[in-house]
Structure formats: C-alpha cells, structure tokens
Amino acid sequence: MSFVVAPQTVDEAIAFLAANPDARPMAGGASLVAMKNARLIEASHFVSLARIEALRGIGPSAAGGLRIGGMMHHRQIAECADLTGGWQMLRQAAGLIANRVVRNMGTIGGAIANADPAADYLPVLACAGAEVELVGPDGLRRLAVADYLVDWYETALEPGEIVTAIELPAGGDGPSVYRKLARTPGDYATVSVACAREGAGPDSSVRVAVGACGPAPIRDRDAEAALAGRLHDPAAIAAFCATLAEQADPIDDVRGSAAYRLKLIPRMVAAAIRDVTGDR
Amino acid sequence: MAGKEVFALQINGTRREIFAPGDATLLDVLRDDLALRAAKRGCNQGVCGACTVMVDGVPVRGCLTLAGACTGREVTTLEGFADDAAMQALQEAMILSGGVQCGFCTSGMLITARDLVAQTPVPDEPAIRSALSGNLCRCTGYVRIVEAVTDAALQLARQKDTKREAVE
C-alpha cells in the first residue's frame, strides 16, 4: 500500500482511516506536509482528499444558506462571485491568506481542521454563525464554530473524522468586513476582526468576532444586542469594544505581545464597525 | 521515513518513473531523482517560494506537494518552459533589469510571474508585488524584479496587439 492514498469518495476515506489508525487525512497539504518536512508528525499514510468530488463546490445549502465544500481552495473562495453582502467577509479573509501560490494549495476544510487560532477563517465563520460539517465512522454531524473549537489547536474532530463542508446561514445584505492586522502581507494575524451588519434601519445591529486573541474567536451576543440601535454612538461602541477585550486571552508571541493585542482589539473592532456603518 | 515506492509521473510532457520514499515531496524527486534543479529547496516549509512549480497549470509549492499525490497530474518545472515565449520574455527582462543576483529565488519568481501575466495581462505594480509576495528574495530588494515583470508584461501585451492587428 502506497504512503499516499487518494480515495474517490468520503466513505472510502472514512473506511481507510478507520482501518488504519495511524493514517492522517490530508486536505491541501499546505500545513500538513510542512509539518512532515519538519518531522513534527508521523503517519502510516496520508489520505489525500483531493480526488473526492463531493468535497468540492460552493452552492446553496439545504437550509437556505451557502454550502462550501471542504476541499475548496482559498483562491476559489477568494474569487467566488456569490460571496457578497454578509458573506463578503469570507471572500476577503480567503484572499488575505498567505500568498497567491499557497492559496492554490490550502483548503478551507484543512484550515478549519488545523484550527490555528490566528488563521483567517475562524473569526469570519464565528461571525457568520456558520456550522462545520464533520463526517466520521459514526456518521455526519454539524457543529457551530464555538462548539467545534475546544481549546488552543484542539477541536471536536474525533480520530477518523474529516471536515466535509462549511455551511453559512443566509447572509443578509451585509455589508460585512474582515480586518486583519499582520506584520507582513500573508502572515498569520496579530489580531483580526470579522464584522457584519444586520438590518439597515435605526435598530440595526452588528455581529462581531475577534480572532488571534485566544483559543477561539471572541463573540458576545449579549453585547451585540446591547449595541443594537446604537451603532453611531461612540460611547456605546467603546463599551462594546471593552467588553470584547475583557474576554480576550491573548498570548505573547513573535507577532506581538498580549498587551499589544489587547490595545489593538478596541481599535480594530471600532474600525470594523465604522466599515459597515459607513461612519468615519 | 516511509518505504520506497515507484511513482509514475508526467513531468514536462514526459512520463518518468521514480523509485523514492513514499512520503517524498515533489521537490525531492525533481531535484534528487530527476536532476531537475531549477526548483530550489529553500525553507522546505512553503514560505520562501523557491520551489514553486506548476501542477496541472497551477503554481504550487514543490516542497508541500507529495510526489505520490501527483500521479495523473501534469507537472511543469521551469525547465519545461524553455520554449515558452512568455517565459523567455520574463527571463530576458530579469537579466536586463538586474533582477537576478544570487539566482536562488529566480526560478520560483519566474513560475509565479508566468502565472500572473497569464491571468492578468498588464498587472500594475501592486498586483505584481502582491503576486510575488510569496517568493522571497534576499538580494535585490525586489525593485528590479518588479520592473522586470512590468516590462515583460508590457512587451507581451504589445506583441499580442501586434499579432491581432496583423490578423485583422
């Protein structure tokens, strides 16, 4: 049996992973092969998901939203004309991952399985209220991002389970925005913010998720409700930003100190809210 | 390390059989087994871009692509572009602009730039800088590389216009 196996269906992949507990699923390989090259991981086989047709495509979901196959590349998502309005932020995030060539390789399913807290999709998906679809030997399940993420780099994925799709609820007309502060284009975020506006009238509200400042994106629905109808009130926005910053658990790393990240959160959240309200 | 396997790969239009470790990367077999050494092993982490090659016409990192995942795919390295007019224009522009110093990044730069000019006929400077942002150069400071891609793209666009006029 060769080291790389490339099943044609999800069922074949799941069966192979179940029969070979030391095998690992491989999406685009952009992170997994780098880890192998650095001798950080060992595996009996890499089970490439690249030839499974069912993991491709972006289209309507059964629930009336959008379904994105797990093997869609960042470049395909960045170029997807259907991602407008409330979904625009996903398109922006995909286009800011790494660089042109790596975006041809990396996939949304792989990125979510890897679950780097500083990577770009997670805050967007938390903001959108997306669900992650997992398939394993026990069948299919869909989890909200908050339930999928367990801790730093730890997800609800069980051995032998793979990410098959992401489902976004109907996105609304938006607008939405993804803001990323990074040391250099294509780096992981020092801090990132996804923000989408709900409604256009005086009662309109925002959904906001902050990335790279803890094991999972920070989102506070109570604080969002308190801010509804006050999107042009600087004091209300400052209070909202402070509430999110209080929930952050950033680390000191090469991209910035925890203290620096805590200072960035209010500025970036306020800027993202201004992006979707049009205030300057 | 995984045991050795036979890989049958389509490289630069020719079928090649290679006996290499099962977890070998495409870059490993290109350089170590096939002596195609335009693609360079820089970081082996997908960061530097020196190993960039095309698989099915799409630029990818050779170091992040497993050889065993390339069966049935068409691999093209810089060597495979020897007769490609757009690549020749890019290469000449790189020489004329002084975009080559030590040369280690050049092969990867050229593959990425070739894809850019195919997708965006006359890219502006921000588009060029963005496209090449995943190809690191520690010599030139990038200015001359950006100039080279700009010049080559303009020259290629002009040639296309001339051809179109000739046909009309």
Give the separation between CA B18 and CA A93, rounded to whole angstroms.
Answer: 39
Q: Cβ contact (<8 Å) for B66 and A37? A: no
Contacts of B8 (CB under 8 A, 6+ apart): B15, B16, B17, B71
Contacts of A13 (CB under 8 A, 6+ apart): A7, A25, A47, A49, A52, A162
Q: Cβ contact (<8 Å) for B112 and A101? A: yes
What are the residue ranges of helices labelled H in chain A? 10-19, 32-37, 74-78, 88-95, 100-103, 108-114, 121-128, 145-148, 221-227, 234-246, 258-277
Q: Residue A212 domain-assigned?
A: yes
Confidence of residue B32 (pLDDT cuts 50, 70, 90): very high
What is the per-residue pLDDT for A35?
Answer: 97
Same fold, B4-80 and B83-167: no
Q: B111, B91 in Cβ contact below 8 A? A: no
Of B46, B66, B115, the CB nearest to A46: B66
Q: A170, A131 in Cβ contact below 8 A? A: no
Q: Cβ contact (<8 Å) for A100 and B68? A: no
Segment A66-119, tens digit of pLDDT: 999 999 999 999 999 999 999 999 999 999 999 999 999 999 999 999 999 999
Q: How many domains does chain A have?
A: 1
Number of H helices, E strands in chain A: 11, 13
Q: Cβ contact (<8 Å) for B65 and A100? A: no
| B83-167 carries CATH number 3.90.550.10 | no
Contacts of A270 (CB under 8 A, 6+ apart): A237, A238, A241
Residues of A in contact with B117 (CB under 8 A): none
Segment A23-81, tens digit of pLDDT: 999 999 999 999 999 999 999 999 999 999 999 999 999 999 999 999 999 999 999 99
Q: Residue A158 domain-assigned?
A: no
**CA nearest A74: which of A36, A35, A115, A28?**
A28
Each domain of chain B, given as residue ranges in start order, spans: 4-80, 83-167
Segment A141-161, tens digit of pLDDT: 999 999 999 999 999 999 999
Q: Cβ contact (<8 Å) for A36 and B23? A: yes
What is the per-residue pLDDT for A204?
Answer: 94
Segment B97-140, tens digit of pLDDT: 999 999 999 999 999 999 999 999 899 999 999 999 999 999 99
| DSSP summary character for residue B80 | G
Q: Cβ contact (<8 Å) for B46 and A30? A: yes
What is the extent of the structural domain holding A205? 176-277
Q: Cβ contact (<8 Å) for B68 and A33? A: no
Q: Does A35 touch chain B (CB under 8 A)?
A: no
Chain B residue with minimum CA distance to A46: B23
Residues of B in contact with A50 (CB under 8 A): 69
**CA nearest B106: which of B78, B65, B76?**
B78
Segment A167-226, tens digit of pLDDT: 999 977 879 999 999 999 899 999 999 999 999 888 999 999 999 999 999 999 999 999
Of A4, A98, A100, the CB nearest to B22: A4
Chain B residue with minimum CA distance to A99: B134
Q: What is the CATH number of the domain that holds A186?
A: 3.30.390.50
Residues of B in contact with A2 (CB under 8 A): 5, 22, 68
Q: Taking the CB of residue A177, how many other CB atoms lie within 10 A of it?
A: 22
Q: Cβ contact (<8 Å) for A30 and B52? A: no
Query: What is the overall mean pLDDT for chain B?
Result: 96
- Name the minimum distance, in Å, from the CA of A92 to any CA of chain B: 14
Confidence of residue B1 (pLDDT cuts 50, 70, 90): low
Residues of A in contact with B115 (CB under 8 A): 100
Query: What ipTM goes with this model?
Result: 0.93
Task: Kindly state the average pLDDT of the residues A125-129.
Answer: 97
Confidence of residue B12 (pLDDT cuts 50, 70, 90): very high
> Would you say residue A253 has pLDDT above 70?
yes
Give the separation between CA A54 and CA A14, rounded to whole angstroms.
Answer: 14
Confidence of residue A263 (pLDDT cuts 50, 70, 90): very high
Q: What type of residue is B152?
A: A
What is the per-residue pLDDT for B51?
Answer: 98
Is A114 or A279 the better-scoring residue by pLDDT? A114
Q: Cβ contact (<8 Å) for A101 and B66? A: no
What CATH architecture applies to the domain B4-80?
Roll (3.10)
Segment B60-78, tens digit of pLDDT: 999 999 999 999 999 999 9
